[in-house]
Amino acid sequence: MRVIIAAAGTAGHINPGIAIANKIKQEEKDSKIIFIGTTRGLENDLVPRAGYELKTIDAYGLSKKISIENIKKMIKTLKGFAEAKKMIKEFKPDIVIGTGGYICGAVISSAHSLHIPTMLHESNSFPGKAVKILAKKTDTILVSFKDAIPRIKNAKNVIHTGTPVKIKKQEYGINEKNKILKGLGLKETKPIILVSGGSQGAQKINEAIVAIIKNKLNKNYQMIWATGPKQFDIVKEHLENCNMYINHIDNMKIVPYIYNMQEMMNIADVMIGRAGAMTVTEISNLGKPSILVPLPNVSHNHQLYNAKVLENIGAAKIILNEELTGERLHQVIEEVILDKSQMLQMGENALKISTNQVEDKIYQEIQKLIIQK
């Protein structure tokens, strides 16, 4: 099988593409796969690191505002369409798959014009502009959440598969879990709250946790808190200004980044974080209660829609970014952890939208599309 995958920008766009590529390679070892991205996004690190060739073109989101800068971007994007078409002609793929970013417009449109089978994967509950614009041209659209299906108009074929993620559910025995907690300097007697604002951290969430610590509110729970590498020193300084030292705070394990995220998510009782599509998918697959603070000012407010997927089934509590304070976060944490039956029910509710064998389902749809064409 010869495959082109278009993915650019964030890890949320690129990692599903890599997971799909890995599945194809697993099933068909002789497959030839290349990625098309931009020179600006995380694809320049993640794709080569995963062992795949990356070709780049220019692609930008087009703005309605008329300015010299936007005109330049439009010219570069049009040039990118021609570059994408040339790459596709040279590679001669059996299928072209887009997993997110402005890059999909040029690559999927070019493949469609060359009568090559096309597929898009949409991770968010509220589909992005690229998916909506390309719906008529794309042969099959795969979605992470069922809520996305009625929001994609004029599509030929929309299939709910889920999103491929690295984090898997893992059961730990009491002794095994206690050993992990001991290594973190935490106790087995209090609930564990895992806080992560994504790979870069989330300043607003960090500020709320600092306020909880300063006011010594975390008496009934413990936290494993990833501040994000760039914000770790800022958090450390804030705490030291209050004569509090980052490695000596009761009921807290504070780190810049969590490398063993699967282990930490599995031992946690409650998750706190943003509401990116992959985060919401991981939370549902693990069956964890969550408190979500959707990132504002993102396209179509899609993180709020992602969070509502869990809130609507009683699996999550949402705090809007502008309403987040230490006191408010502490109040919601205690609402969840002090009612153990509710906490258990939230986790069970999250599992209701979990997706299994995602890579298998996607691979089947790829095969089906190639055969049909």
Model confidence at 102, in pLDDT bands (50, 70, 90)? confident
At 10 the pLDDT is 83
At 202 the pLDDT is 87
Edge-first strand listing for the sheet containing 192-196: 252-255, 222-226, 192-196, 270-273, 290-292, 316-318
Helix, strand, or coil here: 50?
coil
The count of C-alpha atoms lying within 13 angstroms of the C-alpha of 280, restricted to the half-sphere facing its C-beta, is 34
Quick check: 62 pLDDT over 80? no
Pairing relationship of beta strands 95-100 and 2-7 according to DSSP bridges:
parallel
At 230 the pLDDT is 87
Fold of 2-163+356-372: Rossmann fold (3.40.50)
What ranges do the domains of the chain cover? 2-163+356-372, 174-351
At 129 the pLDDT is 80
At 253 the pLDDT is 97
The count of C-alpha atoms lying within 13 angstroms of the C-alpha of 91, restricted to the half-sphere facing its C-beta, is 29
148-207 pLDDT per residue, tens: 999 998 899 999 999 999 898 999 999 999 999 999 999 999 999 999 987 666 899 999
Quick check: 71 pLDDT over 60? no
226-244 pLDDT per residue, tens: 999 889 999 999 999 989 9
Provide DSSP, 103-142: HHHHHHHHHHHTT--EEEEE-SSS--HHHHHHTTT-SEEE
- Is the entire prediction scored with pTM above 0.75? yes
Pairing relationship of beta strands 270-273 and 290-292 according to DSSP bridges:
parallel
| CATH code for the structural domain at 174-351 | 3.40.50.2000
Give the percent of the chain with pLDDT over 70.
Answer: 93
Q: Do the domains 2-163+356-372 and 174-351 sit in the same CATH topology, yes or no?
A: yes
259-304 pLDDT per residue, tens: 899 999 999 999 999 999 999 999 999 999 999 999 987 777 889 9
